[in-house]
Amino acid sequence: MQLVIVESPAKAKTIEKYLGKDFKVLASYGHVRDLPPKDGSVRPDEDFAMDWELYRDKQSRFKEIADAAKKADRLVLATDPDREGEAISWHVRELLRNRKALPTKVDRVTFNAITKGAVTEAMKSPRELDQPLIDAYLARRALDYLYGFTLSPVLWRRLPGAKSAGRVQSVALRLVCEREREIEAFRPDEYWSVLAKLQHDGTAFDARLVRYDGKKLEKLTLGEEGSAMAARKAVEEGRFTVEEVETKPLKRNPAPPFTTSTLQQEAARKLGFSASHTMRLAQSLYEAGAITYMRTDGVQMDMSAIMAARDAIVERFSDDYRPEKPRFYSTKAKNAQEAHEAIRPTDFRKDRAGSGDEAKLYDLIFKRAMASQMATALLERTTVTLRDATGQHELRATGQVVKFPGYFAVYQEGRDDTDDDDEDEGLLPVLRKGDAPSKSAVEANQHFTQPPPRFSEASLVKRLEELGIGRPSTYASTIQTLRDRAYVRMEKNRFFAEESGRLLTAFLERFFPTYVAYEFTAGMEDELDEVSAGNEAWKTLLEAFWKDFKPKTEEVMEKKPSEVTEVLDEYLSDFLFPERADGKDPRFCPLCEQEGRDGGRLALRGGRYGAFVACANYPDCKYTRRFAQPGADGEDPADDGVMGEDPETGLPVERKSGRFGPYVQLGEGKEAKRASIPKDLDDFDLEWAIKLLNLPRIVGQHPETGKDIEAAIGRYGPYLRHDGKYGKLSNTREVFEVGMNRAVDILAQSANRGGGRAKAEPIKTLGEHPTSGGEMKVMPGRYGPYVTDGTTNATIPKDMKPEDVTEAQAIELIDARAAKGPAKKKRKAPAKKKAPAKKAAAKKAPAKKAAATKPAAKKKAAPKKTEAE
C-alpha cells in the first residue's frame, strides 16, 4: 500500500479518485506542528535549536496517519508546491521518523493543478524534499518567533494596552499610519479650469483652455476666482479656429495572468472581496480542480495551457482575436521566486465553475487568463488644437476611438485611484484645419487639490509587493491580523489607522526604527530568498539578526515607562494636540479653561489599561481623554454634561464618559437608567438619548404565540427577543424602525440557523493561537466569560474584565488550562451527600419495610466505599 499525504480533505478526496486501489490518501489538515508559544522554543544560545509541538487538535488525525504509515511500503508527500507545502511535508516526515513509523521509501511530488493528468504525471516524477526550501521556512519561522516573543513583552511593559508586533505586520501598519499622517498634513490648494462647450456638425464636445495670454497653463496657474473669470471672458469673446489635428494610433497589450497579489487586487477592485475571502474562494476552486495553484509569483503559463487558451479564443471569437504567436510573460515583482505557473483555469473549455462568490472569482480568473493570450487592442487618439485670432489663447480637445477591441472584448484591468487620470477621451467630430466650431457655453470650474487616498486592500497589497515586503501568500493573513487587533478599521473599503495602531507605530518608529524600516524588511526577504536558493546558511541569517535585535530590546526595557510616554508625547504632538481654530495653545486643558484655572497643560500619560491624555493640574483637574484604549473614540469629555430634560419625568438627561466609552444617564443612584451611545449614531442628540433610555421597544405581538417581540441593544449589539429566542439586527437604527413582518422573518431565520437561541457573539476577537492555529475569542458563558481557541476553553479570572483580556493573557490562560488536561468528572460526590440523608431517614421512619430495606442497603454500600478509599 502507498500512502499519500496532502493538506486538505477536499484535496485528498479529489486525488484519491485519480489513483488506483493501491493508494490511500490522507489529509494533514494543514500544518501538524509548530513552535510552542512560550519562551525557549527557539534558543539562540544553543545554535538556534528549535522545539516543535504537535497541535493538540491534530493528535488523533496524526495517529491515523502514523497507523497507516506503519502498513505502507511507500510514503508520498504531495503537499502544495511552495515553501509552506515543503515545510508541511518535512514536519510529517520528521514526526513519522520520531514515531518509528516512517516507510522505507519516501518521495516528494508536486503538481500545479489537481487534475488527473497533472497528478498521475507528478507520481511518475518523484523527488526528494528540497532542503534549501525547508531551511528558508525554518529561518522565517524562527525570525517571526524571535521578533514577536522578544518584542511583545517589551510592548506589554513599556506600552500598556499594546497587543503585539510582527515583522511584516508592523511594517504594513506603518504604511497605513504614514498615509494617515500625509492626509492630516495635506493643505489643499485652490485652482480653476476653463472649459469651452463646443459644437461642430451637430456633435458636441469639450475643449480645455491650455494656453492663456501666451503662457502655458499648469494645474495651479489659475489659482483664484479673479484670474479664472478673466480667462473665461477671454474665451467667451474670442473666435477659435482649428489650427492642428493630430491623430496617433495607440496599442494596448493585455496584462499577464493572475499572480496571488494581482488576484487579490483585482478581486478587491472589481468584486469588492477582501484578500482573505479571495484566498478562501481560490483555495476551494483549486481543491475542486478548477484552477491551478493559487499561491504564486509566476506569470507564465504551461505551453499546453497557452495552446488551449488560443484554441478557445478562436472558438469564441475569430482568428483575428488570436495573435500570430503565443504571448510569454516574465515576473517584474521584487523578490519573485515561486517556480510554478500563474493562476489560470485548468480547462479553457469551461468558462464557469463553482457557484456564488466562487463563480464570480472563477469568471475573473478565466477572463484574465484568456485575455492574456488575445490580440492587441488597437485605438486611435485624436488631439485638436484651437487658437483665437490673437494667437494668445489656446484650447485643446482630445478623443479616443477603439478601432479593434482585441482583448478588450473579454477583459480590461482595473485601476486604483492613485493612478494618473487620463484627459477626457470622448468622441470628437471630424475636424479640419480652419474649422471654427460654435460655442454654446464657457465654464470656469473651481477645484481643490486632493490628499493622497487612503489605502484600499488592493492598493495596500500592491504597495507591499512593490516594496518587496512579505510574501503574496501572507498578505491576506497580515491584513486580517491588523483588523482583528483593532490597529486599523475599514470604512467604505478604505483603511483608517486607529489610535492604538498609531501609538504602536510611533513606539516602533521611535525605539525600533531599523525593524520597521521598509528597506530592512525587504532586505530580509532577499536574504530568505538566498537561503531558499541554497546560497546562504539559514543560521547565519539568524545570527546577524539576533546580534543587533536582542541588545536593542534590552536597551528599551531599561527605560522607565514615563520616559517612553514622554518621548511618544513629543513624537505624536501634532496628532494629539492639533492647532486650535482660536489660535490658543493646543495643549491648554479645556476644563481648566472653563473653570479659570492656570497652568492646565495636557500631556500623554501611561496607565494600567493604556495611554491617555491628562491635565498637569491633577488632582485639582480630573480631565482625561482616552487614547488607544478600548472604547476610545476621540470624543472630548469636556463636551459631557446635561443634554436636556426627559419630557415624562422631568429629570435631566446627562451625557457622560466612562471607561468603555460615552453613555447617557437619567436620574441618580441605584434607580438611574443608563445606556451606552452606539458608535453608528453620527447625529446623536437628546431625542436619540431618550430613545435609548426607553429601550427595550415592543415591536408587537408574535402572530403565532401572541407574546411580545422586543427590540433592544445588548452587550453584543442590537437584537430582537421573543419567548427566549433571539435574532440579530444589523444596526442601531433598525432597533427603532424594524416592523412586525421583518421581525418575525429575522427570528425565524435565526431559529433555523441556531436551533432557537441565537449563537452568542464574542465579547472580543483576538488573533490566532500560536499553537493550535484557532482564532481566539472572549465569549460569554453560562458560568461566566471564558476565552477559547476553538479547542480549549479557559475561564477568565473574576479580577480580570473580559473586555480587557489581551492576546498574551488569552494564550497564557488557554495554555494553562490545556496543561491541566480534560476535566475529571466527580461521580462519588452525590453518593456522599445521599448517605447522611439515608441515615436520617432510617432513624425517623418507623415503618418496618423502610427500616428493613435501608439498613441492608447501607451495609452493602459501606464496604464499597471503604474499598474505593
Beta strands in 527-637 (DSSP E): 602-607, 610-615, 624-626
User: CA 483, 486, 487 angle in degrees (round to 5)?
Assistant: 85
Angle between helices 561-571 and 131-158 (to 10 degrees): 100
Any idea which residue has 476552486 for its cell? 285
Helix, coil or strand: residue 715: coil
Helix, coil or strand: residue 248: strand
Rounded to the nearest 5°, which phi and psi values hold at 180? -60, -40
Catalytic residue among 145, 293, 407, 411: 293
The answer to whether residues 174 and 502 touch, using CB atoms and an 8 Å cutoff, is no
The answer to whether residues 55 and 31 touch, using CB atoms and an 8 Å cutoff, is yes
Output the nine-digit C-alpha cell for 308: 488551449
Distance between alpha carbon 578 and the CA centroid of its chain, in Å?
30
The answer to whether residues 285 and 360 touch, using CB atoms and an 8 Å cutoff, is no
Whose CA is closest to 174, among 416, 520, 471? 520
Rounded to the nearest 5°, which phi and psi values hold at 499? -60, -40
Among this protein's residues, is 329 annotated catalytic?
Answer: no
User: Which residues, listed in sequence order, are joined to residue 24 by a DSSP beta bridge?
Assistant: 3
How far apart CA 750 and CA 492 sit, in angstroms, is 28
Helix, coil or strand: residue 74: strand
Rounded to the nearest 5°, which phi and psi values hold at 430? -75, 115
Q: What is the dihedral of CA 163, 169, 170, 174, to 10 degrees?
A: -120
Which ranges of 186-337 would DSSP assign to H, the alpha helix? Answer: 225-237, 260-266, 275-287, 303-316
Whose CA is closest to 769, among 57, 138, 8? 57
Please tell me what DSSP assigns to residue 779: E
Whose CA is closest to 529, among 140, 170, 50, 146? 140
User: CA 148, 154, 160 angle in degrees (round to 5)?
Assistant: 110
The answer to whether residues 52 and 106 touch, using CB atoms and an 8 Å cutoff, is no
User: Which residues, listed in sequence order, are joined to residue 242 by a DSSP beta bridge?
Assistant: 386
Catalytic positions, written as ranges: 293
